[in-house]
Amino acid sequence: MSLRLPGHEELPSLETPLEMLLACHGRVRKFCHVIQQLVTHLPQHGLTADARQAAGNVIRYFDLAAPRHHADEEDDLFPALLLAAGEQVEFAAMRAALLALQHEHEPLGLLWQQLRPRLQAIHDGHWLELNEGELASRFAADYIAHAAREEAEVYPAATQLLSTDVLARIAEQMVARRRH
């Protein structure tokens, strides 16, 4: 059995920040799917080269790309949405969802810090139970659900509320964040 690793598909330009954020969610789903595959692959097939490589790819993604994505949202997108929505009653549900979702970033980060050493051990060729205490399954499921909620409850408001100038400033920040 071979693990399906996320390909190197073309990502939207950082000049289109909403499309880029959505593409990041697509990558999150793919890497969470890899984690789910590892949960079943390892007990059946052991520490194959595919499993070790997959673990390393997951580590790289969640160490580098995921924190940048969270910063894109917390530092740029979410504040811009809150400012643009103001006290408009029609955006009350979006504001509440946005604040709840922002508070989910820290627990997701803590779950990652628990899961990462297990993936690192697998990448380094040491056998262990990846899903001990359902950790890997919980991380993958929580992250996928989080992204889906952002897309359903927050992102649509961005197309309504944010001007092209605001989106351009968000894009500039996203580019700068990835240069460092």
pLDDT above 90 covers what percent of the chain? 88
Q: Per-residue pLDDT tens for 56-88? A: 999 999 999 999 999 999 999 999 999 999 999
Q: Per-residue pLDDT tens for 131-154? A: 999 999 999 999 999 999 999 999
4 vs 167, more confident: 167
pLDDT of residue 9: 52
Domains in the chain (CATH in brackets) are 17-179 (1.20.120.520)
Distance CA 142, CA 139 (A): 5
Distance CA 88, CA 177 (A): 31
Torsion angle defined by CA atoms of residues 107, 110, 115 and 118, in that order, rounded to the nearest 10 degrees? -170
pLDDT of residue 55: 98
1 vs 61, more confident: 61
